[in-house]
Amino acid sequence: MSAHALTPGTPETPGTPETPETPETPEPPETPVADFGTGFLTTRILGNGVGYQWTRVPGPDREDAFTSVPESVRAATVALGPSGVRVELGRGGRAERRYPVPLPYTLAHVLTTLPEAPDRWAAMPRLLHDVGATVRRVHDEVRTGPVVRRPSGGLRLSRWLARRDGPGGAARLFEAAGHRLGRRRTDRVRHWLVEWEQERPDDVLVLGTVGLGAVIPARPPQAGVLLAGEELARGPRAYDLGWLLGELAEFRLLHFTGPQHTEAAALCAAAARAVLHGYGPEAVDAEAVARAAVLRVLVHAHDYAAYVGWTEQLLDYLDLLAELIDTPAAAGTSAEGPYEPTDLEKA
């Protein structure tokens, strides 16, 4: 199971006014490049030889539509300008979102096709450093406006734990989690979710899916792109950071564990440090980020079971989660040390 097999989606934001359709690009791409999806999210990529358009639609098993993008949020985000990475909120409404981007693949694709993409792989720490810096600017400078919903990933987990059921293999995962995690760890997860759902004065605009499947590299001088807008929410800073660090931890602790992947695992750890350096370690609650990273791994396990189907590899996820719930710091990372493995990045 790859970390980008599921790209979490977004429930709509109750009370948020619908955003009017924004104009299309003058010449939208028309040549089909790729189609892929799950019960949660489907994606079509079109190209025209110059650029690409990603069109995302909620999958058939998804309970909630995309969030709308308030005009105040869109304007404030555009005003940030690119700083290595630009935030792309997409065009369209809650049933479809279209994103103009420079390339037909994400950083998650790069990680899962490592042998074919060594150059872009080596550039990952720098790119994620810029993602961290950009997310910090969003948190500091873009007001939540009418966005009031809590982060979607937490809502999905809370619903799953309450219902003990869901689409696809959700019920089977719940049963397996009961055996592998036990009552104490499950209660701890519930407690963390309650913390996420409580409104606090220092809540910020959360982009929601700041993950490897949302980061599109670019060839200089173009900026990389961070796809967002489907899961806008109001929540803690730790959410966006933990989402990304959880995905990197998943690669490092589950997929890059063999001796042939030592270099890849080290680069994932360096990329995680790069995210925190880019964001600014002084603004980070390290414990909250680590808990968010653990929850991100659990969200991915849930989403795969529910929207793709059961696989025995999910048991490996639960075993890893048992360790991470006991020691969440292992899923986060320290900002100490260099954020990039210089030798690898220069290779």
- Dump pLDDT digits (tens) for 289-330: 999 999 999 999 999 999 999 999 999 999 999 999 999 999
Reply yes or no on whether the pLDDT at 24 is more than 70. no
**Cα–Cα distance measured from residue 46 to residue 35, given in angstroms and rounded to the nearest whole number:** 9
Pick from 32-36, 44-48, 186-190, 259-263: least confident: 259-263
Say which residue, 6 or 141, is predicted with more confidence: 141
- Residue 115 token pair: 């042998």
For residues 81-90, average pLDDT: 88
Residues 89-112: tens digit of each pLDDT: 999 999 999 999 998 989 988 888
Q: Do you know the residue count of the chain?
A: 347
Q: How far apart are CA 23 and CA 272, in angstroms?
A: 36
pLDDT computed for residue 264 by the predictor: 85
Distance CA 62, CA 64 (A): 6
Band (39; pLDDT cuts 50, 70, 90): very high
- The whole-chain average pLDDT of the chain stands at 86
Residue pointed to by tokens 């929207």 = 307
Phi-psi region of 15 (alpha: psi -120 to 50; beta: other; left: phi over 0): left
Q: For residue 220, say if its preceding peptide bond is cis, omega within 30 degrees of 0.
A: no
With cut-offs at 50, 70 and 90, classify the pLDDT of residue 4.
very low
* Predicted local distance difference test score (pLDDT) of residue 310: 96
Query: What does pTM read for this prediction?
Result: 0.88
Is 12 a residue whose pLDDT tops 60? Answer: no
